[in-house]
Structures are given as structure tokens and as C-alpha cells.
């Protein structure tokens, strides 16, 4: 069964769950952008609107009847922004399932919603319970069967995944000791997680291997480079016999040898190509493990447009006369509400521009002094890249299961001084990272508001 996901920014999700404080059933409309293709369906929620009190004909703890004024204006506003609409209501103190009355309401609304929005889908969501809410959600096409929503993704300082498909883990003992730490629900979340890893080198390959070991269900790995003799000394899963092979093929073989069922999709390409970046479109989280600035520009905006966090990973080993003078690592959490890499000054836009140029054009302009040459490869030691990679994979578990405070959005490590610093910075005024209207745009064109190489 294909994954069907509703993705929420934390402020909208918190607002929505506050409706359960009302002892009577409450209804309203969500609108969002849709990504619907052969890889699955993801709906990126952009607005929420609760029906006004005057819009109810009937409103009780066990039922409601809503006038068209309670949903038509919100649906039309979504349509104006090319968004589908989802009818949402609560079952306060009840159970997260669709009643026979809910089925009839969906039958009555599906055609009207689709006609008003021009979207291919209509959606419905039930929130139930009180202190420990439960959820049920489904999508419907105008003339097709219902698509059960398999997961809800909530992004902010944490990444929260609610699995709605009811699958059980079975009797496999591979992750028995991990289940003792994270619980069966936690392991089921990992088994349904879709993760992107951009860069399969010194930090990307150990992150990828650890994701396979913990039981992540699907990994999309993107890299356009090949194994060289120098990369063997810091890349996981490769040996000298692999020199000349694409890094993503080696990663695919590694996942196969481990054999824990992770579906690894290797994409041999450059993230600065739009079709390659589009391969991440259904991911729940992405690790940025690149050396340059061009791919960081893409992922810096991707996290906000796709309502899915990016963990940006960086390692810098400084040396003079072949002696190490500094070892610095950085992990930055990028998600709606967190300051982006531009606001933090972590991206050199001039170098990003240079990386986007055709190699021949770049050399010509560099010779004329119009652009700088690309930097020489930085020093690298496998123990340091592995350490930062392990911290990055651990940060996913911390954010996913609430195992550490979520307020800091960046970790800075000075390994030579054995020090760790945490920070949280505010977004610049009017930057997309702090502007909710900019979030959840999905694959809208121009994609990510960027100019692409092809």
C-alpha cells in the first residue's frame, strides 16, 4: 500500500487539537497543497479555519450539523490558492473512527469539495478523545475508493509521526533490544519513516548505515559522485574493489547486505537538478551531508516548502603544515519556525552561484576574475566524520521521540577543545523560514523559488 501522509506545521496542529477542549463536536476546514503520484500522496496543510458558532444548526457532544456557511467560504479560499480541502471534526471523549453518519457526510461533501477546489481529492479527518487524542483520516477521489491516511507528520522543534495504518511488528527479534528502549510504537514509526540522505560520503554513508540498522523503512540517497581511493578511507560500505562505482550503488549494496528490509532508492544525480531534488518530495526528513553551498541552498528552502525537517551536517578539520589546528562540527535543525541557514549566515551565496555554473563557464569566469575558483577539498578524518554522523542520526531519535530538549536548533562542537554549545536564533524579518504563508508550497512552480541547472 502506498503511503498517504498529512503534513502539518506545529502551530496549525496545536490549534487543531485545542478544539478537543470544547465538550461539543467542533468542525472546520483544512486546506493544503497536494503531491499525488506513483510514489504516494502527501498533503501539505497550509491553513485551518474553525466554523463559527453561528454556522451550526446542531452542535452536541455526540453530533453536529453544519450549514454551508461553515465550510464553503474556507473551501473557496483554499481553491484560490490551488489547495485541496479537508473536512475536519471532533469526537470529544469518543473514539478515532468514522461513524456511519460521518460516512454519509463524506458522501454528501466529496463532489462539492472537488468541484469547488478543482482538486483531485477530498479529505476528512476525525480528532477524538481528550488528554491522549486519537486520529482517523482518509482521502477520496471523486469517483474512486477511499484512500486511508497512513501517517500524520507534524513538524516544528520536533518531528512527530502518528501511524494510522494499524500495522504490527510481528515476531521478528532483530530489534528486540531497541524496542525495549523505544517501544513497539516507536519501532513502527521508524519502520514507516521515509528519509532522504543527500551526499553518500564521509558523513552521509555512516548516517545511512545507522538508519538501516535502526530499521528505517525507506531511504532515498542522492549523490552524483563515484568511489575514489581517497573516499574509501572515510566512506562506509565501500572497499578498494568499489573504486569507480557510483556511491549510491555502493549504498544500495550495503543496505542489501544488512538485509533488514529497508527500501533504499539510489539516485545518481546532482541535487541542483530539479528532477533530482523532486525525488525527495515524499520524505519525512532529510539529512544534508554535502560539502558545498549549492545543495544547501536547495535543502534550506526545501524544509519549509515540504513541511519536513532537514538536519544539516557539517565537519571542518583545520590544519597548518599538516598539523590539525581545529576540529569543528555542526548540526542545524531546519523546519518551519526555526531560523534557516541564510538567517544563520551558514551559506555563501557567491559560492553557491559558482557551484551552479557549467564547469566550462565557471573556469572561464574564474580566469577572468569574475568568480572565485571552487575550494580545494578540505582535510577529513573518518573518526571525526563518523562521530558527527552518529550525533546527527541520534538527533533524529531525540527529536522523534522527545529524548532531549527541543528548544535548541543548532549544536556546535569543538572536538579539539571537547566543548559543545547549543543555540537558537530568530529568523530575519520577512524571511521565508519565519513566514507561515511561505510554508507548505510543495512542488509549486517555480520550484522552491529557485533557478535550476536543468
Average pLDDT of every residue of the chain = 91
Looking at residue 245, the DSSP 8-state letter turns out to be S
**Whole-number Å distance between alpha carbons of 271 and 224:** 9
Domains observed in the chain: 4-149 (3.40.140.10), 176-443 (3.40.50.720)
pLDDT of residue 85: 97
Q: List pLDDT tens digits, range 419-430.
A: 999 999 999 999
Cα–chain center distance at 259: 25
pLDDT of residue 365: 47
Task: Determine which of 25-34, 46-55, 93-102, 279-288 has the lowest per-residue pLDDT on average.
Answer: 93-102
Q: Is the pLDDT of residue 199 over 90?
A: yes
pLDDT of residue 380: 79
Task: Return the percentage of the chain with pLDDT > 90, whole number.
Answer: 81
pLDDT of residue 370: 45
Q: List pLDDT tens digits, range 93-103.
A: 899 999 999 99
Q: List pLDDT tens digits, range 134-169.
A: 999 999 998 878 899 999 999 999 999 999 987 666
At 374, the pLDDT band (50, 70, 90 cuts) reads: very low
Edge-first strand listing for the sheet containing 194-198: 263-267, 218-222, 194-198, 285-288, 310-320, 323-334, 410-414, 419-423
Pairing of strands 159-163, 134-141: unpaired
Q: List pLDDT tens digits, range 39-63.
A: 999 999 999 999 999 999 999 999 9
User: What's the whole-number mean pLDDT along residues 306-314?
Assistant: 97
Which of these, 43, 41, 34, lies nearest to 9 by C-alpha position?
A: 43
Are 453 and 270 within 8 A, CB to CB? yes
Which of these, 441, 384, 389, lies nearest to 418 by C-alpha position?
A: 384
Rg (CA), the chain: 23
> Exposed, middle or buried by CB within 10 Å (0-12, 13-18, 19+), for 429?
exposed
pLDDT of residue 333: 98
Amino acid at each position: 500500500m502506498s503511503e498517504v501522509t498529512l503534513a502539518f506545521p506545529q502551530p496549525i496542529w496545536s490549534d487543531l487539537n485545542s478544539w478537543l477542549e470544547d465538550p461539543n463536536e467542533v468542525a472546520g476546514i483544512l486546506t493544503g497543497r497536494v503531491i499525488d503520484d506513483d510514489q504516494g500522496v502527501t498533503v501539505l496543510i497550509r491553513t485551518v479555519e474553525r466554523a463559527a458558532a453561528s454556522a451550526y444548526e446542531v452542535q452536541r457532544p455526540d453530533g453536529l450539523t453544519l450549514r454551508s456557511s461553515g465550510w464553503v467560504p474556507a473551501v473557496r479560499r483554499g481553491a484560490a490558492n490551488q489547495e485541496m480541502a479537508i473536512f475536519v471534526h471532533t469526537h470529544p471523549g469518543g473514539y478515532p473512527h468514522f461513524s456511519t453518519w460521518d460516512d454519509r457526510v463524506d458522501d454528501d461533501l466529496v463532489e462539492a469539495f472537488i468541484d469547488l477546489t478543482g482538486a483531485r481529492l477530498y479529505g476528512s479527518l476525525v480528532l477524538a478523545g481528550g488528554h491522549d487524542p486519537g486520529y482517523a483520516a482518509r482521502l477520496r477521489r471523486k469517483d474512486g475508493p477511499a484512500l486511508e491516511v497512513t501517517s500524520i507528520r507534524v513538524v516544528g522543534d520536533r518531528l512527530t509521526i502518528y501511524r494510522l495504518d494499524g500495522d504490527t511488528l510481528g515476531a521478528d527479534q532483530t530489534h528486540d533490544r531497541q524496542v525495549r528502549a523505544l517501544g513497539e510504537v516507536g519501532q513502527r514509526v521508524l519502520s514507516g519513516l521515509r528519509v532522504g540522505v543527500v551526499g553518500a560520503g564521509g558523513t552521509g554513508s555512516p548516517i545511512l548505515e545507522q538508519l538501516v540498522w535502526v530499521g528505517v523503512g525507506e531511504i532515498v540517497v542522492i549523490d552524483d559522485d563515484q568511489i575514489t581511493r581517497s573516499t574509501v578511507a572515510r566512506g562506509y560500505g565501500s572497499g578498494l574493489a568499489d573504486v569507480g562505482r557510483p556511491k549510491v550503488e555502493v549504498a544500495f549494496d550495503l543496505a542489501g547486505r544488512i538485509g533488514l528490509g529497508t527500501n533504499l532508492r539510489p539516485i545518481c544525480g546532482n541535487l541542483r537538478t530539479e528532477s533530482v531534488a523532486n525525488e525527495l518530495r515524499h520524505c519525512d526528513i532529510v539529512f544534508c551531508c554535502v560539502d558545498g553551498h549549492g545543495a544547501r541552498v536547495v535543502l534550506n528552502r526545501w524544509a519549509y516548502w515540504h513541511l519536513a525537517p532537514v538536519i544539516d551536517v557539517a565537519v571542518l578539520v583545520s590544519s597548518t603544515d599538516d598539523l590539525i589546528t581545529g576540529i569543528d562540527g555542526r548540526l542545524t535543525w531546519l523546519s518551519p519556525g526555526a531560523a534557516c541557514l541564510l538567517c544563520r549566515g551558514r551559506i555563501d551565496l557567491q559560492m553557491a552561484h559558482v557551484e551552479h555554473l557549467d564547469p566550462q563557464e565557471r573556469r572561464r569566469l574564474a580566469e577572468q576574475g569574475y568568480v572565485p575558483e571552487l575550494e580545494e577539498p578540505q582535510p577529513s578524518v573518518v573518526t571525526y566524520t563518523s562521530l558527527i554522523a552518529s550525533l546527527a542520526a541520534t538527533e533524529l531519535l531525540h527529536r522523534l521521540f522527545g529524548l532531549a530538549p527541543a528548544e535548541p536548533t543548532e549544536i556546535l562542537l569543538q572536538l579539539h577543545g571537547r566543548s559543545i554549545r547549543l543555540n537558537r536564533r530568530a529568523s530575519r524579518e520577512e524571511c521565508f523560514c519565519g513566514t507561515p504563508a511561505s510554508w507548505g508550497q510543495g512542488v509549486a512552480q517555480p520550484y522552491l523559488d529557485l533557478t535550476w541547472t536543468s
